[in-house]
Structure 1
Amino acid sequence: MSRKVLRSKILQTAGLTFMLVILMSSLVLAQEDQAAANAVAINTMWTLIAAFLVFFMQAGFAMVEAGFTRAKNAGNIIMKNMMDFAAGSLVYWAVGFAFMFGAGNAFIGSTGFFLQGTFENLGLDIPIMAFFIFQTVFAATAATIVSGAMAERTNFSGYLAYSVVITAFIYPVVGHWIWGGGWLEQMGIIDFAGSTVVHSVGGWAALAGAIILGPRIGKYNEDGSANALPGHNLLMAALGVFILWFGWFGFNPGSTIAGTDLSIASIAVTTNLAAAAGAVLAMTVSWIKYGKADVSMTLNGALAGLVGITAGTADVTNISAVIIGSIAGIIVIYSVEFFDKIQVDDPVGAISVHGVCGAFGTLAVGVFAIDGGLLYGGGISLLTTQLIGVAAVFFWAFGLGLVLFKAIDLVIGLRVSEKDEIEGLDFSEHGTESYPDFVPNLKAQKGEV
């Protein structure tokens, strides 16, 4: 073979090899691009599915609150829960999301009103609209927690004013502190899915509202003892708890905002274990204390476990989740009794479940977190940070809540008249009855049932 022919074949072979390398590189890059696109699609779908699950929790709250209160107020409960989400969605879109996640300072966001802008500061790999709808349902949850604690005696227009303010400002500011790059996040606080951001904010606002409102007619005697005002439908309340438990599988695992993050499985397990432990311990303690296994306390025990694990669900072991849920299930019973003793009337136990157990769950991270927890050799640094966060949010939500509810009381009027309360808010506030087929009786007219 001549040298010229050999050179030609070498050049041809080199050319083919180069083309193959280019082709293979292009295929690899295309596969990587497709894999990245698939990951974004999976993460987006997961975030949306989780958002839909959390939205369904609104139905759970409505059922719990209506079931734990009297029949004459069921329609009013439904209206408050509906408006928490409907009005809340609008104001959170307009200003709340910007205050929470917009670029700004360590206290509050100041860009992105009406979802205008890029939100590059968040570093998301999913569309901003997917993240926004997920955060919207969280905001509605914080607002609707207050409804139960203020049930059966609140002026509907006054409640609407509160709902708008908490969704537009009070809740988003706390969210910015802890999730939006604010000062508590910079300190290293861990509140993965919102024991404090969502639940304690709602719980402490509920405490403020219950204090300003005062107790329901007939709740407390002159000697300070409390009278039971039983809810009208435990089946409805139980259904609400199961709906909330179900929705929490969107609330906690969904907070990864990443379906490709396989930790969603372990987060679902810690969530479930804490809820189960909370229910079992609440049942056990109520059985010992009262001689009977109390239904309402057991239901609230499950919710207490869920609230308690929400902060550390991604950062603790399964055993720690059981311990956290168990303690929360015990705490909720004694907390409900405490608020009754100081005559803070909370018909559904929202302050204890969400405020107290939310604070406990946030502090528990400082003890049980695998990375930085006291029991895992992390010292008290994380626990101190968690404590600062709990205290700061209490003073913010409770303090502003007192100011807000007092202002509403002076300007609009927060509490209905004695006549309207006895008659029931369904009729006095909405001109309807939730159960029109019930036969009226004298006791119902007097507000004794």
Structure 2
Amino acid sequence: MDEMFLMNNVWIIVCFALVLLMQGGFILLEAGSTRMKNAGHIAGKTIFTVGIASLVFWAVGYGFIYGEGNLFIGMSDFFYGDFESTVDGLAGSVDFIFQLAFAAIALTIAFGGFAERAKLSVYILFAIAFSAFIYPVVAHWIWGDGWLAGLGKQDFAGSTVVHLTGAMAALAATIILKPRIGKFNSDGTSNNLAGHNQVYTALGVLILWVGWFGFNGGSTLGVDGAFFGYVALTTQLAAAAGAIAAMFIVSAMTGRNDIPTMLNGALAGLVAITASTAFVAPWAAVIIGVIAGLIVHFSMVFFDKAKIDDPIFALSVHGVAGIWGTLSTGFFATPDLAAMNGGLPGLFYGGGLTQLGVQFTGVAVSGLYAFAVAFIILKVLDKVLGGLRVSEEEELVGLDMSEHGSYGYPENMEKAADSVKKHGA
């Protein structure tokens, strides 16, 4: 067996493990960004929804993306079990397991819009629907020889396929579920329902940052030519620039060196460079990260003023930054890298508006599809389940207790309850 073939497969399995580890980053990020009474629920639902996503992807998701079909959907390779084939120079099973990890990440992003108020049954049923009918369709259009791929859509590792798709599903959920109790006042002003652990949030971001080198670097699908090193370089520069830009802008606008905004700036830089990491020069990666860090702050402010309650900031970090990252190749893609990785050079390299137009089309159509289908699915579940949201009493008690019967921090919560009984407040 060819040595390079073996090395490529080992590399992609390592990258799969890194992308799977990103789920741990999401657990800490989401739990730390929300209140203590929901921490166990957030951690637990992440694990079982990754399980659901894995089984659905095996049954139908992979086939809908990469199976033989038409420009809109694949129609073969269901219940995948081919151990003899090769795909893009990889063993078929290795390619399958790597792609599965991306589907699970998109689902986790979507669930950011459900945080602290959705029933557990909604997570279960929506996980099945999203993993079968939303993510695979968009992925087929762009990565599975679909119609957007035919137009030359550039999305190296998934700013649109993974991040925007998940964010638009999250937007549908936030609209239907409505804000958490106490988030907005009658005069339209908002209250900061602060997360309970900024250290968890920061550690979650760092784990995600490390995992991103599997996310982007693994999308090279091999070690040939060591191009994954270049992808790692542009990824690191964009993330760093995003964190710094977000810290500067929030300090300038509010007078506070807000930690959550800085953390979201790093993530926004990572999300934005995900589409363009293999298409742009290092200096452009810095600019892409800076702009992502700036727009994530203004986006967070916008959604808050629009009374859209997004506890994990999925809409700003994965949605708005995902749109910018996808469009950025239409500006910054170099002729050499575009030729090597598909598509045309960007506007700033004499490519005109052609590639930018393709990128815009991909963003608009993919985002609209993900939102519309998620909205319809959630409306149906709303009727079937008699509501998507837990009762007011259950929300106030916390989903740890109301949905699972125990707190993520049982000792701390029992002490808090005893204090309330003793002091009456």
Which TM-score bucket, shorter chain as reference? over 0.9
> Counterparts of 1:166 and 1:43 in 2: how far apart (Å)?
30
The answer to whether residue 35 in structure 2 is matched with residue 62 in structure 1 is no
Match of 1:382 in 2: 355
2:81–2:93 contact (8 Å) kept in structure 1: no
SS in 2 for 1:113: coil
Q: What's the Cα RMSD here? A: 1.6
The answer to whether residue 103 in structure 2 is matched with residue 139 in structure 1 is yes
SS in 1 for 2:79: helix
User: 1:241-320 alignment to 2 at 5 Å?
Assistant: 241-320=205-284
Letter in 1 for 2:37: K
> Counterparts of 2:225 and 2:397 in 1: how far apart (Å)?
53
Can you list the C-alpha shifts for 1:330-383, whole angstroms capped at 9, x where unaligned? 111111111111111001101110011101100011001002100001000000
Shift of 1:394: 1.1
User: 1:357-396 alignment to 2 at 5 Å?
Assistant: 357-371=321-335, 372-396=345-369
Q: Which protein has the larger Cα radius of gyration, Structure 1 or Structure 2?
A: 1
SS in 2 for 1:153: coil
> Counterparts of 1:283 and 1:116 in 2: how far apart (Å)?
47
Structure 2: runs of 5+ lacking an equivalent: 336-344
> Counterparts of 2:36 and 2:87 in 1: how far apart (Å)?
48
User: 1:194-233 alignment to 2 at 5 Å?
Assistant: 194-233=158-197
Match of 2:299 in 1: 335
The answer to whether residue 416 in structure 2 is matched with residue 440 in structure 1 is yes
Match of 1:6 in 2: none
Shift of 1:426: 0.1
> Counterparts of 1:148 and 1:176 in 2: how far apart (Å)?
24
Shift of 1:324: 0.3
2:33–2:194 contact (8 Å) kept in structure 1: yes
> Counterparts of 1:295 and 1:343 in 2: how far apart (Å)?
22
Match of 1:38 in 2: 3
The answer to whether residue 385 in structure 2 is matched with residue 420 in structure 1 is no
Structure 1 residues 203 and 442: CA distance shift in structure 2, 3 A: farther
The answer to whether residue 78 in structure 2 is matched with residue 113 in structure 1 is yes
Can you list the C-alpha shifts for 1:186-220, whole angstroms capped at 9, x where unaligned? 00000000000000000000000000000000000
Shift of 1:148: 2.2
* TM-score, length of structure 1 as denominator length: 0.89
Shift of 1:125: 1.7
Shift of 1:124: 2.4
Match of 1:429 in 2: 403
Match of 1:172 in 2: 136
Letter in 2 for 1:433: Y
SS in 2 for 1:152: coil
> Counterparts of 1:151 and 1:389 in 2: how far apart (Å)?
28
> Counterparts of 1:356 and 1:393 in 2: how far apart (Å)?
14
> Counterparts of 2:24 and 2:36 in 1: how far apart (Å)?
17
> Counterparts of 1:333 and 1:154 in 2: how far apart (Å)?
26
1:112–1:119 contact (8 Å) kept in structure 2: no
* TM-score, length of structure 2 as denominator length: 0.94
SS in 2 for 1:216: coil
Shift of 1:147: 2.1
> Counterparts of 1:351 and 1:443 in 2: how far apart (Å)?
37
1:191–1:310 contact (8 Å) kept in structure 2: yes
Shift of 1:84: 2.0
Post-superposition, which runs of at least 4 consecutive aligned residues in structure 1 deviate over 3 A?
116-120, 441-445
Match of 1:398 in 2: 371
Question: How many residues are paired up?
Answer: 410
> Counterparts of 2:36 and 2:117 in 1: how far apart (Å)?
13
Shift of 1:117: 6.0
1:103–1:119 contact (8 Å) kept in structure 2: no
Match of 2:340 in 1: none
Match of 1:326 in 2: 290
> Counterparts of 1:311 and 1:70 in 2: how far apart (Å)?
33
Match of 1:104 in 2: 69
1:102–1:119 contact (8 Å) kept in structure 2: no
Letter in 2 for 1:376: Y
1:111–1:117 contact (8 Å) kept in structure 2: no
Letter in 2 for 1:388: T
Shift of 1:443: 9.5
Structure 1 residues 297 and 39: CA distance shift in structure 2, 3 A: same
2:40–2:409 contact (8 Å) kept in structure 1: no
SS in 1 for 2:155: coil
1:77–1:147 contact (8 Å) kept in structure 2: no
The answer to whether residue 320 in structure 2 is matched with residue 356 in structure 1 is yes
Structure 1: runs of 5+ lacking an equivalent: 1-33
The answer to whether residue 125 in structure 2 is matched with residue 161 in structure 1 is yes
Match of 1:77 in 2: 42
> Counterparts of 1:111 and 1:233 in 2: how far apart (Å)?
45
Can you list the C-alpha shifts for 1:150-202, whole angstroms capped at 9, x where unaligned? 11101010111111111122001100000000000000000000000000000
> Counterparts of 2:225 and 2:129 in 1: how far apart (Å)?
35
